[in-house]
Amino acid sequence: MGVSVAINGSGTEISAGAPFRNFFTGAVYIFNKPADGWASETQSAELTASDGAEWSFFGWSVAVSGTDILVGASQSGISAPGLAYIFGPSN
């Protein structure tokens, strides 16, 4: 896990890409900073592609802007071009 990592502007949320999970379908894990610091953090969410396929490597790249999380998948299945997914409060 943690091939790609992004942190929000306030430093309270980390998004960690795990493109090798589940036969390379991939996932992104969200962690929120507890009041007592990062040492006691727990996973708060798991993001996956709605059209996820094996070998898509979802989570290969991750970026955060405000409350939106942009996730890159280097492929969309075997021998297919990559895709980008955006997750936010209204998605």
Task: Give domain limits for the chain.
Answer: 4-87
57 closest CA partner among 87, 36, 91, 84: 84
Confidence of residue 1 (pLDDT cuts 50, 70, 90): low
| CA nearest neighbour of 14 among 25, 22, 1 | 1
Which of 28-42, 57-71, 76-90 has the highest mean predicted lDDT (pLDDT)?
57-71
Contacts of 43 (CB under 8 A, 6+ apart): 29, 30, 31
Band (80; pLDDT cuts 50, 70, 90): confident
